[in-house]
Amino acid sequence: MLDKYISHDLIMVSQDANLEEVATLMRAKNVGSVIVVENKDTNPVPTGIITDRDMVTRLLAQDIKLDEVSAQDIASEPIVLIQASQGLQQTLDLMESKGVRRTPVVDKEGKLVGMIALDDVMVAMIDRLESIAHVIKHQIH
């Protein structure tokens, strides 16, 4: 289970938020990504993700005014979702095959429960390796 490694402090924006609002929120929260959702205030449904890299490569490099573009306009789609019940290897395989570093996590009903990043997966793998090392040490001594 990934629950121990999932960030539950979600930073979400509605689909119609303009990118000036998105950038301001990312700076204020000191995050590199936000989840774009429908029904932000009731039952948020993830529809895309915006990363700091998206902001630079899709907008700033093209000199587009941030207040004239909505979050949904540049959100990475289709969104890649991880099931909270997935194992570590499944998560890593999916992230690798889809070429993503961060992705929202949903429960079995599709409710948004968190976000996981490649860094979180690495921490989980290190924890597993430490457990293996512990077992080996006890078997040797």
CATH number at residue 108: 3.10.580.10
Tell how far CA 94 is from the center of its chain. 13
pLDDT tens-digit map of 78-107: 889 999 999 888 999 999 999 999 999 998
pLDDT of residue 82: 92
pLDDT of residue 17: 93
The total number of structural domains in the chain stands at 1
Range of the domain at 57: 3-140
Question: Which segments of the chain have a pLDDT < 70?
Answer: 1, 61, 141
Residue 19 makes CB contacts below 8 A (sequence gap 6+) with: 50, 55, 59, 66, 67, 69, 70, 71, 73, 74
Cis peptide before 78 (omega within 30 of 0): yes
